[in-house]
């Protein structure tokens, strides 16, 4: 006799996952303090695009516990770009000199001069003015 497989209560699991996701506030503090900055930034971009309160998500500067200056600059550039792309008022905090690198930072830490030149010419001005060069697709999500 073949035993019937035990049914997994997927509705309960799905609801549990949804409630855990909703209880996690994906904001700028979440991004800058995440153990994987890139992952946190991608989650934030997704949340920003879904949000009905986009201005509220970017209004307050991130409160970093232990962040690198590079990540702070990338986050400020991302906020600046998102605000411009969505026709929002750019928060004043992104213009603070603390969010500008004193030397150029390139995607993938490339040292290839041809690629660096491409990134310089292709980066959005919101990134370039912070001395961060990641190219025009820097904050696109597929």
Which residue from 139, 142, 111, 136 is spatially nearest to 45, judged by alpha carbons? 139
| Residue 139 is assigned to a structural domain of this protein | no
Assigned domain for 15 exists: no
**Of 4-18, 77-91, 128-142, where does mean pLDDT reach its minimum?**
4-18
Residue 32 in domain: yes
- In a domain, residue 8? The reply is no
Residue 118 included in any domain: yes
Least confident of 14-18, 81-85, 98-102, 122-126: 14-18
**Residue 56 belongs to some domain of the structure:** yes
Q: Specify if 108 maps to a domain.
A: yes
Q: Across residues 70-75, what is the average pLDDT?
A: 97
Domain containing 109: what range? 24-133
Residue 11 falls inside a structural domain: no
Contact predicate 111/68, CB 8 Å: no
* pLDDT surpasses 70 at 21: no
The alpha helices in the chain, defined as continuous H runs, are: 10-23, 28-33, 37-50, 54-58, 69-85, 113-122, 125-128
pLDDT at 23: 46
pLDDT above 70: residue 87? yes
81-108 average pLDDT score: 97
How would residue 140 be classed by pLDDT, with cut points 50, 70 and 90? confident
For residue range 102-115, what is the model confidence (pLDDT) as tens digits? 999 999 999 999 99
User: What is the total count of domains within the chain?
Assistant: 1
């Amino acid at each position: 006799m073949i035993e019937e497989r035990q049914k997994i209560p997927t509705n309960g699991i799905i609801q549990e996952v949804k409630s855990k996701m909703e209880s996690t506030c994906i904001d700028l503090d979440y991004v800058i303090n995440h153990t994987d900055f890139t992952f946190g930034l991608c989650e934030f971009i997704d949340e920003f695009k879904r949000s009905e309160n986009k201005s509220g998500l970017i209004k307050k500067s991130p409160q970093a516990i232990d962040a690198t200056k590079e990540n702070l600059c990338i986050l400020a550039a991302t906020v600046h770009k998102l605000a411009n792309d969505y026709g929002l008022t750019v928060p004043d905090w992104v213009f603070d000199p603390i969010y500008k690198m004193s030397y150029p930072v390139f995607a993938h830490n490339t040292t290839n001069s041809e690629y660096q030149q491409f990134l310089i010419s292709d980066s959005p001005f919101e990134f370039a003015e912070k001395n961060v060069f990641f190219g025009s697709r820097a904050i696109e999500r597929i």
